[in-house]
Amino acid sequence: MSDTPVAFSDLNLPSTVLKSITELGYETPSPIQAACIPLLQEGVDVLGMAQTGTGKTAAFALPLLSRIDLKSNKPQVLVLAPTRELAVQVAEAFQAYARHIPGFHVLPIYGGQSYSLQLKQLRRGPHVVVGTPGRVMDHLDRGTLKLDELKAMVLDEADEMLRMGFIDDVETIMAKTPAERQTALFSATMPEQIRRITKRYMRDPQEVKIASKTTTMENIEQKCWIVSGVNKLDALVRILETEDTDGIIIFARTKTATTELAEKLEARGYAAAALNGDMNQQLRERTVQRLKDAKLDILIATDVAARGLDVERISLVINYDIPYDTEAYVHRIGRTGRAGRSGKAILFVAPRERRLLKQIERATRQPITQMDLPSRDLVQNKRLESFREQITSIFNDEDMTAYRELVDQLAVDTELETLDLASALLFMAQKEKPLILPPEPEPRPRRDRDSERDGKRERINYADLDVYRIEVGRSDGVQVKNIVGAIANEANINSRHIGDIRLHDSYSTVQLPKGMPDEVLQHLKGVFICRKKTEITLMEGEVAHPPRRKPRGEFKGKGRGGNDRNGNRKPRRDRREG
């Protein structure tokens, strides 16, 4: 490839797609986009090796969108993703790139979502389907997803699907697609099982390998808050009240969100304004100048609007909405810490967005420290300190003679002591921003996150688990990882909360949290693992115990450590590793 930078306009993309990516703030293609887009437009199979966050979603979505036949109401592109979060993220990207393509329809399908809703949307005839392997298999087995007109298939994060135990399902799905379809496979690593798929199901794939870049931002202090207990706006206000900052940029995902957030902050007394793509150049320049002149303290911006923004006084960047790709994150926090100055960046992360946080940490090769929200006492003390400074400033700078006389007159009229009158006036003055805050609610118990960050598995309380039977066993070829992957995706249960799993010939048992909602159990009954329905049922009277460890020296002797005391062979039991 030439070293001369290419533009998206050089890649033969339709004008409708070019218009969308321009509005989204895409300037020049990333290396993987520049390499993959021409190949996929030509119909070539592509094997992409690149880390998450390098822009690979656009690398396959943009060229495949260019070849969609809007007259056909059958799926023409199928994207397989390992998790529901990634499936939703990819589907949203397709929708954003196709915003100027009338009649285009993309559908994400994944576990935990209503079958009836998915069936209704499948009947509408989506052009692109993005799904997790388990749910795609379900629809293929039910006959509700037809792939006879499929033109292209994408395996996104294939190594992650292998790790989660989905690779057999992936192969089964690929075997049910038309032989002449185009295939793109993306993976950060290339283990042997992935290589096997490329040899069996891909036609002379062109390999694109992108070396990961190290992004260093040592002069920017990066922290994240995991959204919980307090809504995001209240959390934002707490941070704004307690951080010692100058200019601030808050990033939101949409133009509407920038306007709404600016209005809410203005209502709380902050000098804030929105900066988004709906603003004309003159208004944009005037808003940025107000920030430079300290007539404005906070800008709430979209990625597009903040491109190239360089204002010295910006000392804090807050990612109110986490960006979908790491390049956007790097651009965002780069608005602070300019020209060697120090800066701070805070990232809001919803629990379901932890995966995006990990992507950012991997791409930047820097850990992002988790922070706690400022406490009630800290917020209250900051408010009192600010109020004291205001009072001192007023008495130093203003003539208070008339107001003293007014206080004396009010004391006479109301028959109140001066201290009582001052207390009432203070109460009225602080109504919009109370100086005495209500006590904080008791914190909910939470996991030991330090042990999680150290890579240690959280200790399971087995008293909080029930034992369930599923009608899939060793004779069906099931492995523990298949059960973990299916339950984690379909029931939205973190794998850390799944207890002991034991495999038998015709069935298996699994320990799950007590009090499982009936709708979740009914949904799991219809989930397929290794092509069999789980038909999950609660095993009444069974008590969950940790996996039994054989005491040292038990049953040894005569070289038959696997036998019981009577010399009979003990049945093998598979357990999850603790």
- What is the pLDDT, as a whole number, of residue 206? 94
- Our measurement of the distance from residue 281's CA atom to the centroid of its chain's CA atoms, rounded to an integer in Å, reads 33
Instruction: List strands edge to edge, sheet with 46-49.
Output: 106-109, 128-131, 77-80, 152-155, 182-187, 46-49, 206-209
Q: Of the candidates 245, 266, 262, 258, which has an alpha carbon nearest to the alpha carbon of residue 314?
A: 245
DSSP-assigned letter for residue 108:
E
pLDDT tops 70 at residue 308:
no
Quote the CA–CA distance of 356 and 358 in Å, as a whole number.
5
Alpha helices (H) along 143-191? 158-163, 167-175
- What is the pLDDT, as a whole number, of residue 554? 44
Place of tokens 């185009």: 182
The residue among 436 and 214 whose pLDDT is bigger is: 436
Place of tokens 């040592």: 218
Position 337 confidence tier, pLDDT thresholds 50, 70, 90: confident
526-569 pLDDT, tens digit each: 888 887 888 999 987 777 777 765 544 444 444 444 455 444 55
Place of tokens 């993976």: 187
Query: What is the average pLDDT across 61-81?
Result: 93
- How many C-beta neighbours within 10 Å does residue 75 have? 22
Q: What mean pLDDT, rounded, does the chain reach?
A: 82
Contacts of 538 (CB under 8 A, 6+ apart): 466, 467, 468, 521
- What is the pLDDT, as a whole number, of residue 455? 40
- Region of residue 298 (phi > 0: left; psi between -120 and 50: alpha; otherwise: beta): beta
- What is the pLDDT, as a whole number, of residue 555? 43
- What is the pLDDT, as a whole number, of residue 336? 86
Query: What is the average pLDDT across 470-492?
Result: 85
Q: Hey, which residues does 349 pair with through a beta bridge?
A: 226
Pick the CATH number of 464-578 from 3.30.70.330, 3.30.465.10, 1.10.260.40, 3.40.50.150: 3.30.70.330
Distances (CA, A) of 484 to 144, 191, 316, 522: 25, 21, 41, 18
Tokens at 394, concatenated: 């007023």
Query: What is the average pLDDT across 25-52?
Result: 87
Give, in degrees to the nearest 5, the angle at Cα 147 between 142 and 152.
Answer: 145
Instruction: Provide the residue type at 397 as one letter.
Output: D
Contacts of 156 (CB under 8 A, 6+ apart): 56, 57, 60, 79, 80, 81, 82, 86, 90, 186
Q: What is the CA radius of gyration of the chain?
A: 29
Pick the CATH number of 8-209 from 3.90.79.10, 3.40.50.80, 3.40.50.300, 3.40.1190.10: 3.40.50.300
Tokens at 413, concatenated: 């009229």
Place of tokens 């990033």: 251
The residue among 516 and 148 whose pLDDT is bigger is: 148
pLDDT tops 60 at residue 36:
yes
429-470 pLDDT, tens digit each: 776 667 776 665 554 444 444 334 334 444 667 777 889 999
pLDDT tops 90 at residue 176:
yes
Domain boundaries, the chain: 8-209, 220-375, 377-429, 464-578
Indicate the range of 29-33, 142-146, 213-217, 510-514 predicted with least confidence.
Answer: 213-217
Position 576 confidence tier, pLDDT thresholds 50, 70, 90: very low
Position 53 confidence tier, pLDDT thresholds 50, 70, 90: low
pLDDT tops 80 at residue 200:
yes
Task: State the greatest distance between any 2 C-alpha atoms of the chain, in Å, as a whole number.
Answer: 104
Query: What is the average pLDDT across 354-369?
Result: 85
DSSP-assigned letter for residue 372:
P
- What is the pLDDT, as a whole number, of residue 51? 66
Q: Hey, which residues does 369 pair with through a beta bridge?
A: 223
Cβ-contact 54, 30 below 8 angstroms: yes
Instruction: Report percent pLDDT > 90 for the chain.
Output: 32
498-522 pLDDT, tens digit each: 888 999 988 999 998 887 777 788 8
The residue among 70 and 517 whose pLDDT is bigger is: 70
Query: What is the average pLDDT across 362-366?
Result: 80
- Same CATH topology for 8-209 and 464-578? no
Position 4 confidence tier, pLDDT thresholds 50, 70, 90: low
Q: Of the candidates 490, 492, 496, 505, which has an alpha carbon nearest to the alpha carbon of residue 572?
A: 505
pLDDT tops 70 at residue 280:
yes
Tokens at 209, concatenated: 């390998």
Q: Buried b / exposed e across 389-423, counting CB within 10 Å, b at 16+?
A: eeeeeeeeeeeeeeeeeeeeeebeeeeeeeeebee
- Region of residue 552 (phi > 0: left; psi between -120 and 50: alpha; otherwise: beta): beta
Place of tokens 């107001």: 403
Position 317 confidence tier, pLDDT thresholds 50, 70, 90: very high
- What is the pLDDT, as a whole number, of residue 171? 92
pLDDT tops 90 at residue 147:
yes
Q: Return the CATH fold of 220-375.
A: Rossmann fold (3.40.50)
What is the SS3 assignment for 226-273?
ECCCCCHHHHHHHHHHHCCCCEEEEECCCHHHHHHHHHHHHHCCCCEE
**What number of residues does the chain have?**
578
